[in-house]
Chains A and B, each alone.
Chain A
Amino acid sequence: MKVSREQKINMYRSMIRIRRFEDKLEQIYRDGKLNGHSHTCHGGEAIAVGAIEALSEKDIIFSNHRGHGHFLARGTSPKNIMAECYGKVTGTNKGRSGSMYLVDTKRGMPVASGIVGGNICLATGSALASQIKKDDVVTLSIFGDGATNIGFFHEALNMAALWNLPIVYLCENNQYGEGTKREQHQKIKKISDRAIAYAMSGLTVDGTDVIKVYKTVKQAVEKARSGGGPTLVECVAYRLSGHSAGDLGIYRPRGEKEEWEKIYDPIKKYKKQLLKEGMLTLQETEKIEEEIQKEIKEAVKFAIESEEPLVETVGKYVYQEDENNE
């Protein structure tokens, strides 16, 4: 499976965009300028970028509460996501979501779920629709390690295997379910082993290696598209941020984060690789960094300067026919 230079550089740019976007967002929350919950994917950028690169344009992605990275990787503008975090009318959901339930229907991304595991059955239904319609679309269902303990996971994977649905279940194993380390929330060593229980293929891949993630997910997507059924892909990484903005992660063993950061930071790792392969020069990486910083700055400015939603619209679209609820 060949990956072109252009693809490789685009993936790098995308990872930097996610990291800088979320660095900025965390800072804004820390400064007390925003309300609500915000979950960043620091350390998981390679999963978002590698997996989504493996999809075609018509494919569908069900994202979750830790979803900025998925949307950015798919091409949603940082401006619209930032504006959504600010609750502005220019946001992805016109200010109705905040950070957790982003949507981008033009890019095949329905509303993300803020309920852990809440979208796994929905994604399965999307794959069911594809099977009935025979539309050649593959659905990607993204969730974390914590979600694999919830009933939805079991019900959905059993159903998808039984019906041979065109879906890829992507587990971002970032080793923490909120504040609970994985060893304390499940006994199983490899999450992909759970696929065995459904007679489904299960793969585990280094989630800090964007190329490996891309190749593994691509293989699963092609299998699903050609009628080969679902796959559970586990991507192992490490959550370098807290569970949500403001969480300092005091529950982590001393030194754990630093150790992972040193060896497994997906961005540092990928940058080193690209420099070594001669795909990028140091100068070029600096240029990318500069461009992204500018992009993020503009996104914040756009969000701040955007209008609040009109109060009169509060009852709009509770129902499709636009009834206003009393």
Chain B
Amino acid sequence: MSEMMYVEALRTALREEMRRDKSVFIMGEDITRYGFGVNRGLVDEFGSDRVRNTPISEAAIIGSAVGAALRGMRPVAEIMFVDFIMIGMDQIVNQAAKMSYLSNGELSVPMVIRTPEGTEWFGGGAQHSQTLHSMFMNIPGLKLVIPSDPYDAKGLLKSAIRDDNPVIFFEHKQLYTQKGEVPEEEYTIPLGKAVIKKEGKDLTLVATSWMIKHSLEVAEELKGKISIEVIDPRTLVPLDKDTIIDSVKKTGRLLVIDESSINGGIQGEIISVVMKEAFWNMEFPPRRLGSLNTPIPFSESLEKEVFPTKEKIKKEVLSMFSD
């Protein structure tokens, strides 16, 4: 075991997969010289053929990754901010997600789009701070991965690269510098397997990405009063329904927290999935917490109002035990 940052865990995964498989290559804007530093140093080992700086052309980055994947490569395309993914939306939704189905499984698109989302410490504002993964859950044909710590980031990225489907891999800007234990030896984490981050018996708290940290802190602070089980689905597609449903059947309470805007977000989707199986086990109506239905404002005081914070989570949890 060694302790490393999330950003280093991602880089290690890329390095290991590029060494393992010649068809893996990475491309994106300024990936060798700027940005959050995930790809730093990789060009020195693998050369500029497999570590490509691209023009600012998100549709061509994503679209050419789809085309290369159709020809047997395993591209990892980096989109510098998830907000920019919108430029390449057609290439994801109309092209990548449809190839397997339209060809009856004859064509595969083994590609990964890595992209950071979420609010920033320096105030990216409305077009650099969004959390957009929810909208992709409505597109059949895509897999969605959203790791919350260095261990998961490495194991899941390796699996995403080896997967034969188009995968969008959502990172979080706040997570990049977070540290965690990562084994030295080879490991992967299968897509579609949730993890129970902390066991509990009074409330199931399903959270994603940066929200896991807040959730674990709330669970710790309320220890002795309320026993909270914190579950990280880790992948939204495929979604590990069973782990969540089993937990809710045990606790009778469910709170889902995600940084997506609340309207049409994955919070409601997860609640619906669980209620189909666990409705009669409920002791309290399920609740959801997400960002307000506003663009992300710049001013720090306004920004804090928009996304779920530790304080808001704690308040929500307590309100579910007010009776």
Give A208 Cβ to nearest chain B Cβ, in Å. Answer: 30
Q: Of the 9-residue stretches B61-69, B130-138, B226-234, B300-308, which lies at the interface with chain A?
A: B61-69
Scan residues 46-92 of chain B and give those whose CB is less than 8 A from a CB of chain A.
49-50, 54-55, 57, 59-60, 62-73, 75, 87, 90-91
**Residue A248 interfacial (CB < 8 Å):** no
**Residue A213 interfacial (CB < 8 Å):** no
Inter-chain contact A126/B71, CB cutoff 8 Å: yes
Give B49 Cβ to nearest chain A Cβ, in Å. Answer: 6
Inter-chain contact B100/A118, CB cutoff 8 Å: no
A118 to B98, CA, bound (A): 12
Give A96 Cβ to nearest chain B Cβ, in Å. Answer: 6
Give B306 Cβ to nearest chain A Cβ, in Å. Answer: 31
Inter-chain contact A322/B105, CB cutoff 8 Å: yes
Residues of A within 8 A of B71 (CB): 60, 125-126, 129-130, 133
A105 to B99, CA, bound (A): 11
Inter-chain contact A125/B64, CB cutoff 8 Å: yes
Instruction: Decide yes or no: A115 and B94 within 8 Å by CB, A121-B64, A156-B64, A322-B105 being known contacts.
Output: yes
**Residue A72 interfacial (CB < 8 Å):** no
The total of chain B residues at the interface (CB under 8 A) is 43
Scan residues 46-77 of chain A and give those whose CB is less than 8 A from a CB of chain B.
60, 62
Inter-chain contact A111/B67, CB cutoff 8 Å: no
**Residue B25 interfacial (CB < 8 Å):** yes
Inter-chain contact A103/B108, CB cutoff 8 Å: no
Give B245 Cβ to nearest chain A Cβ, in Å. Answer: 14
Q: Of the 9-residue stretches A7-15, A33-41, A226-234, A312-320, which lies at the interface with chain B?
A: A312-320
Inter-chain contact B63/A120, CB cutoff 8 Å: yes
Inter-chain contact A316/B104, CB cutoff 8 Å: yes
Inter-chain contact B63/A156, CB cutoff 8 Å: yes
Instruction: Decide yes or no: A159 and B55 within 8 Å by CB, A105-B107, A317-B104 being known contacts.
Output: yes
Residue of B59, B70, B98, B141 near A126 (CB, 8 A) is B70
Q: State the total of A-B contacts with C-beta under 8 angstroms.
A: 143
Inter-chain contact B106/A122, CB cutoff 8 Å: no
**Residue A151 interfacial (CB < 8 Å):** yes
What are the interface flags for B97-117 relative to A under an 8 Å C-beta threshold, 1 for contact and 0 otherwise? 011111111111000000000
Inter-chain contact A318/B101, CB cutoff 8 Å: yes
Give B224 Cβ to nearest chain A Cβ, in Å. Answer: 40
Inter-chain contact B98/A155, CB cutoff 8 Å: no
Instruction: Decide yes or no: A121 and B63 within 8 Å by CB, A159-B54, A162-B55, A319-B165 being known contacts.
Output: yes
Instruction: Decide yes or no: A318 and B66 within 8 Å by CB, A96-B101, A113-B95 being known contacts.
Output: no
A26 to B106, CA, bound (A): 29
**Residue B140 interfacial (CB < 8 Å):** yes
Residues of B within 8 A of A283 (CB): none
Residues of A within 8 A of B60 (CB): 121, 124, 152, 155-156, 158-159
Q: Which of A110, A119, A124 has the most CB of B within 10 A?
A: A110
Q: Which of B65, B105, B140 has the most CB of A within 10 A?
A: B105
A321 to B165, CA, bound (A): 9
Instruction: Decide yes or no: A93 and B102 within 8 Å by CB, A152-B59, A158-B57, A159-B64 being known contacts.
Output: yes
Give B141 Cβ to nearest chain A Cβ, in Å. Answer: 6
What are the interface flags for A116-159 relative to B under an 8 Å C-beta threshold, 1 for contact and 0 otherwise? 00111111111111111100000100000000000110011011
Inter-chain contact B70/A122, CB cutoff 8 Å: yes
A147 to B42, CA, bound (A): 36
**Residue A269 interfacial (CB < 8 Å):** no
Inter-chain contact A151/B95, CB cutoff 8 Å: no
Give A168 Cβ to nearest chain B Cβ, in Å. Answer: 14
Residues of B within 8 A of A133 (CB): 71-73
23 A-B pairs with C-beta separation under 8 A: A103-B103, A103-B106, A105-B103, A110-B107, A118-B63, A118-B91, A120-B63, A121-B59, A122-B63, A122-B66, A124-B67, A125-B71, A131-B49, A132-B68, A133-B73, A155-B59, A156-B63, A159-B54, A318-B100, A318-B140, A319-B100, A319-B143, A320-B108
Which A residues are within 8 Å of any B CB, using their own CB? 60, 62, 93-94, 96-97, 101, 103, 105, 110-111, 113-115, 118-133, 139, 151-152, 155-156, 158-159, 162, 316-323, 325
In order of increasing CB-CB distance, the 7 nearest A-B pairs are A121-B63, A125-B67, A125-B64, A155-B60, A129-B71, A317-B105, A122-B67
